[in-house]
Structure 1
Amino acid sequence: MTLPAFDTAAIKKAATPQLVLDTIRDALIAHAEGRTSVPPPLHMDFPEADGDCHVKAGWITGAADFTVKIATGFYGNPRLGLPSNHGLVCVVSARTGQVRALLDDQGLLTAWRTAAAGALITHAMARPTAATLAVFGTGEQARLQASWLAKLRPVGMVLVHGRNPHKANALCDELNARGLNARPASAQEAAEADMIITTTPATAPVLDATQVREGSHVTGIGTDMPHKNELPPALFHRARLIATDDHAQCLDHGDFGHAVRAGAAAQDGDIAAGLLLKAPVDRPDTAITVADLTGVGALDAALASAVLGQLLR
Structure 2
Amino acid sequence: MTFPVLDTAAIKQAATSRLVLDTVRDALIAHAEGRTSVPPPLHMEFPEADGDCHVKAGWITGSTDFTVKIATGFYGNPGLGLPSNHGLVCVVSARTGQVRALLDDRGLLTAWRTAAAGALITDAMARPGAVTLAVFGTGEQARLQTSWLAKLRPVGTVLVHGRNPHRANALCDELDARGLRARPASAQEAAAADMIITTTPATVPVLDAAQVREGAHVTGIGTDMPHKNELPPALFHRAQLIATDDHAQCLDHGDFGHAVRAGAAAQDSDIAAGLLLKAPLDRLDTAITVADLTGVGALDAALASAVLGRLLR
Q: Please classify the TM superposition score into its range, dividing by the shorter chain length.
A: over 0.9
Aligned equivalents of 1:40 and 1:193: distance in 2?
34
Aligned length: 313
Distance 2:159 2:79 in 1: 25
Q: Work out the CA distance in 1 between the residues paired with 2:80 and 2:144.
A: 22
Please list the CA deviations of residues 178-214 of structure 1 after superposition, one character each: whole Å capped at 9, or x if unmatched: 1111010000000000000000000000000000000
Counterpart-to-counterpart distance in 2, 1:210 and 1:273: 24
User: How far off its partner does 1:121 sit?
Assistant: 0.1
CA distance in 1, matches of 2:169, 2:295: 28
- For 1:2 and 1:115, locate their aligned partners in 2 and report how far apart those are by CA, in whole Å: 32
Measured in 2, the distance between the counterparts of 1:9 and 1:157 equals: 32
Give the Å deviation of 1:80.
Answer: 1.1
| Structure 2: segments with no counterpart, 5+ residues | none
Is 1:210 aligned to residue 210 of structure 2? yes
Indicate the SS of the match to 1:219.
strand
* Cα deviation digits, residues 17-75 of structure 1 (max 9, x gap): 00000000000000000000000000000001100000000000000000000000000
CA distance in 2, matches of 1:202, 1:298: 25
Give the Å deviation of 1:280: 1.1
Aligned-residue offset at 1:279: 1.4
Aligned with 1:52: secondary structure?
strand
Alignment RMSD, CA only?
Answer: 0.4
Q: What whole-Å deviation, never above 9, does each CA across 1:69-91 have from its counterpart, x for those lacking one?
A: 00000001111111110000000
Q: Could you list the per-position Cα deviations for residues 237-261 of structure 1 after superposition, in whole angstroms to 9, with x for gaps in the alignment?
A: 0000000000000000000000000
Deviates more, 1:163-172 or 1:77-86: 77-86
Aligned-partner SS, 1:257 = helix
- In structure 1, what is the Cα distance between the partners aligned to 2:222 and 2:78? 18
Q: CA deviation at 1:2?
A: 2.5
Residues in 2 aligned to 1:288 and 1:128: alpha-carbon distance in whole angstroms? 14
Q: Deviations over 1:85-142 (max 9, x none)?
A: 0000000000000000000000000000000000000000000000000000000000
- Identical counterparts, % of pairs: 91
CA–CA separation in structure 1 for the residues paired with 2:76 and 2:9: 25
C-alpha deviation, 1:222, in angstroms: 0.1
User: What are the equivalent positions in structure 2 for 1:121-270 lying under 5 Å apart?
Assistant: 121-270=121-270
Secondary structure, in 3 states, of the residue corresponding to 1:291?
Answer: strand
SS in structure 2 opposite 1:188?
helix
Secondary structure of the equivalent of 1:102? strand
Measure, in 2, the Cα distance between the counterparts of 1:146 and 1:156: 11
1:127 match: secondary structure: coil
> Offset of 1:148 from its aligned partner?
0.1
1:101 is aligned to 2:110: no
For 2:79 and 2:59, how far apart are their aligned partners in 1? 37
How big is the shift at 1:282?
A: 1.1
Distance 1:217 1:76 in 2: 30
Helix, strand or coil: the match of 2:70? strand
For normalisation by structure 2, the TM-score amounts to: 1.00
Deviations along 1:275-294, whole A, 9 cap, x unmatched? 00011111100000000000
Secondary structure class of the residue paired with 1:256:
helix
Q: Separation in 1 of the partners of 2:74 and 2:308?
A: 27
Distance 1:77 1:54 in 2: 17
